[in-house]
Amino acid sequence: MAKRGIRYTGTSGSSIDDLRHMRDLVESHQLPTNRSVAAIAGLEGVDAGLHAVAEGRFAGKVVIYPNLNRPLPLTPLADLKQVLPAVYARLDKDGMWTKEAEEELLRQMV
């Protein structure tokens, strides 16, 4: 879909007041946004990622990295241990996505 120029835009269905409240929490660093990442993928993972979200397979978000120089299928964070061990090593102590994990992913694959 992404390779055919199709663009998806969606919302959480939250009210404007709820969105403002969440924005304020993020801006004040009270809400760590990376904790909502459940899986990552390159462009080849877009279709699987959309289906996974629609099916409720993940409690968090799927982040697509469109600029990777080699394939990365839809990969839950827990599976990074086998797929990209150096990226997995940079998750936080609870196995959550971090800026350091993203930097390592980009270092290896861009």
Domain count for the chain, please give it: 1
Q: Tell me: the pLDDT tens digits for 49-106?
A: 999 988 999 988 999 999 999 999 999 999 999 999 999 999 999 999 999 999 999 9
Say what the pTM is: 0.79
Q: Which two tokens stand for residue 105?
A: 């992913």
Element (H, E) at 88: helix 85-88
Q: What are phi and psi of 83, to 5 degrees?
A: -85, -50
Residue 49 tokens read as 């990622």
Q: Quick one: how far is CA 2 from the chain centroid?
A: 16
Domain region containing 43 = 2-109
